[in-house]
Structure 1
Amino acid sequence: MSDIRQSDALPSTLFLSDADVAALAEWPSAVSALADAYAKQTSDAMVPPRSMARGDGIWLRSLTAISPAGGHMGSKLIAASPRARRASYLISLFDQQTMGLAALIDGNRVTGLRTAATATLAIDVLAARRPLRVAVIGSGFEARGALDCLKAMRTLESVHVFSPNPLSRERFAQSFAGTLDVLPADTPQSAVSGADVVICAARSRDESPVLRGAWLASGATVVSLGSTLPEQREVDEETIARAACVVADVPDEVAHDTGDGIAATRAGLTLDAKLVSLAALVSGETTPRRLETDIVLYKSVGSALQDVVIAEMLFALAKARGYGTPLPASIVPVAK
């Protein structure tokens, strides 16, 4: 290894705090950045499987990706202690040409941003081009983000929300007061009845499905965000059986590493035959519906590509608007 260092031409590393991310977050920019990335060619090698190191009550997860659009590659690190109920999120961006560390970003909000924006991208491609009747099952952070992003991108005719806690669904509805009329529903079935789009971002305490396929109207678009692990359930087997197509951000994980995918396989459903990637959908390589009455399911487990693309968007906005703190020192690439 040479000891020649390339420090003179490299800009300083920009640090974006959680407050910077909050100030810069924009739903249209996030959806547009993801649409651009998913329309471009990527390979499995560019977005490898996540890894996790485990200790005594602690873990460190790593997600890495090379962006096909914005000129960076990066990682999201999640350090967590479930016992202490604490976690930290750090995203790094490296310039693909210079290998310089372009940015370090507090990733606390990024998971929510990328989950909601990717869901909205899928809905925008899948759902009919008309004012949408929306049902939301769940009243937490992910449900709120998904609906907030969707209303920024599409016209919504009506919105109904169900949560098993009446106070939670009332608070959820009130949080949109003045910008969107959200009606609390007494049952999930009544919320879903007649909906064009059903957003699921919740799980029951016993991990039984919160959405039943029998409730769905013909032509519905279903989004499942809340079950990403083998022990978690959100939609039932009939939902997957009725779906003409299952769109996934990470198809292999959705099929084999989520409780919903595992249950579908155990029920004898040939999930792989109807599974397509989000990239294939956005790039126009696949036609998810043959008939207007076809039901389509988008199921998300989250991807490092989404994290890196949203980080690139935030970095570009920060440079354009003067946000962030240039670090006084950084790592320097070496000649090899």
Structure 2
Amino acid sequence: MSDAPLSAPVAPTLFISDADVAALADWPSAVDVLARAYAADIKPAMVPQRSMARGEGIWLRGLTAVSPTGWTMGCKLIAASPRTGRASYLISLFDQDTMALSALIDGNRVTGLRTAATAALAVDRLAPQRPLTVGVIGAGFEARNALECLAAVRTLKTVRIFSPTPASRERFAEGFSARMDIAAVTSPQSAVQDVDVVICAARSRDESPVLHGARLNPGCTVVSLGSTLPEQREVDEATMARAACIVADMPEEVMHDTGDALAALKAGVDLDSKLASLNDLVAGRLTPRRHAHDIVLYKSVGSALQDIAMAEMLLARARQLGVGVVLPASIVPISK
């Protein structure tokens, strides 16, 4: 015998497509909504560690969170096949009061938006409050998004971009040339020399580090976005060792589930004394840099808090503007 469905009506489920997300989102709002989320009182149980189911050449990752706004809770599922180069992203939002399924959202673009916006938030809180000189390593969509978002919330003085593929770095620089002073350079050392901020969003084919800490300028802020799994590498052990503070969106996952941290631990780097949460930084409970020459690192693996905060904003705007498709049927909350 099944539990009885609730008789009270609930709002219909809204499907928000990838194209809808593109029309509804903007960089400053994305950074603002994430700043408010990370300034809130976030208990560990509200944002548990992600889960990963693996098959032969495929995996399914799940990230869940209860929003600190009291409005929704939700899950992002990522289905990926590295062997075929295909992936799908789905975000489901449930109403915290009624338990109704409020929305299903194509999470592809949301993932890129929240990764870049969280990185920009971290840079805004970690880097000096002046026009910034920026070095970028990587010319893919994560690097482009991160630079676009940072430029939307901070003034950029100069930018240097390196990619091992000359055509990629030239194309990257050309795409931003009308908006900022940007130049493609021929080595990662040239990209990071004497800059305030390093954005690293690239991995080599053999998963060897692409950013070497010995080249970092004292006082710089490093953002590492491209390595989120144990088998992936992006920054070397010297980067982790030189960092006076390592701010992470999910500290335990960064420590135990990223190749960069695992290599640093194996090399004897004391990460316990350096690792801090982005929540503590944004809430004002952390002093990441005690001296002007201190290097600080923001290391991201992605968090469901980011996905759900972004999804809430998108749902509110979609309802206000009449965007999205109202599904003809949905799940029915039951009395338990």
- TM-score norm. by structure 2 comes to 0.96
Distance 1:212 1:303 in 2: 26
Structure 1 partner of 2:277? 277
Q: Does 1:171 align with 2:171?
A: yes
Question: How far apart are 1:56 and its partner, in Å?
Answer: 4.2
Alignment of 1:213-224 (within 5 A): 213-224=213-224
Give secondary structure in 2 for the equivalent of 1:227.
coil
- Give per-residue Cα distances to partners, 1:5-36, cap 9 Å, x unaligned: 2342x111111011101111211111111111
Distance 2:157 2:290 in 1: 25
Q: How many residues are matched? A: 335
- Give per-residue Cα distances to partners, 1:91-145, cap 9 Å, x unaligned: 1100101111111101111111111000000000001000000000000010000
Distance 1:213 1:88 in 2: 34
Q: Which runs of 5+ in 1 are unaligned?
A: none
Structure 1 partner of 2:335? 335
Given that residues 200 and 223 in structure 2 are in contact (C-alpha distance below 8 angstroms), is that contact kept between their aligned partners in structure 1? yes
Question: How far apart are 1:220 and its partner, in Å?
Answer: 0.3
Question: How far apart are 1:59 and its partner, in Å?
Answer: 2.7
Percent identity between the two aligned chains = 68
Q: Which 4+ runs in 1 deviate beyond 6 A?
A: none
Give secondary structure in 2 for the equivalent of 1:183.
strand
Q: Does 1:77 align with 2:77?
A: yes
Given that residues 6 and 332 in structure 1 are in contact (C-alpha distance below 8 angstroms), is that contact kept between their aligned partners in structure 2? no
Structure 1 partner of 2:67? 67
Distance 2:211 2:53 in 1: 33
Give secondary structure in 1 for the equivalent of 2:108.
coil
Distance 1:183 1:7 in 2: 60
Q: Given the superposition, is the C-alpha separation of residues 318 and 253 from structure 1 closer, same or farther in structure 2, using an over 3 Å criterion?
A: same
Q: CA RMSD of the aligned region, Å? A: 1.3
Q: Does 1:244 align with 2:249?
A: no
Distance 1:195 1:253 in 2: 28
Structure 1 partner of 2:227? 227
Structure 1 partner of 2:263? 263
Give secondary structure in 2 for the equivalent of 1:76.
strand
Question: How far apart are 1:2 and its partner, in Å?
Answer: 4.4
Distance 2:325 2:99 in 1: 20
Give secondary structure in 1 for the equivalent of 2:273.
helix
Q: Which runs of 5+ in 2 are unaligned?
A: none
- Give per-residue Cα distances to partners, 1:67-103, cap 9 Å, x unaligned: 1125100001122233333222111100101111111
The one-letter amino acid of 2:258's match is: T
Distance 2:71 2:145 in 1: 27
Question: How far apart are 1:58 and its partner, in Å?
Answer: 3.2
Structure 1 partner of 2:120? 120
Structure 2 partner of 1:201? 201
Distance 2:89 2:71 in 1: 22
Distance 2:85 2:225 in 1: 22
Question: How far apart are 1:53 and its partner, in Å?
Answer: 2.6
Q: Does 1:305 align with 2:305?
A: yes
The one-letter amino acid of 2:174's match is: Q
Q: Given the superposition, is the C-alpha separation of residues 268 and 57 from structure 1 closer, same or farther in structure 2, using an over 3 Å criterion?
A: closer
Q: Given the superposition, is the C-alpha separation of residues 259 and 166 from structure 1 closer, same or farther in structure 2, using an over 3 Å criterion?
A: same
Given that residues 137 and 161 in structure 2 are in contact (C-alpha distance below 8 angstroms), is that contact kept between their aligned partners in structure 1? yes
Distance 2:56 2:256 in 1: 27
Give secondary structure in 1 for the equivalent of 2:52.
strand
Q: Does 1:6 align with 2:19?
A: no
Given that residues 59 and 81 in structure 1 are in contact (C-alpha distance below 8 angstroms), is that contact kept between their aligned partners in structure 2? yes
Question: How far apart are 1:154 and its partner, in Å?
Answer: 0.2
Question: How far apart are 1:254 and its partner, in Å?
Answer: 1.0
- Give per-residue Cα distances to partners, 1:182-219, cap 9 Å, x unaligned: 20011110111110000000011222211111211111
Q: Given the superposition, is the C-alpha separation of residues 249 and 84 from structure 1 closer, same or farther in structure 2, using an over 3 Å criterion?
A: same
Distance 1:188 1:297 in 2: 17
The one-letter amino acid of 2:29's match is: S
Distance 2:179 2:292 in 1: 30
Given that residues 195 and 220 in structure 2 are in contact (C-alpha distance below 8 angstroms), is that contact kept between their aligned partners in structure 1? yes
Structure 2 partner of 1:143? 143
Distance 2:93 2:68 in 1: 13
Distance 1:83 1:237 in 2: 29
Distance 2:75 2:321 in 1: 24
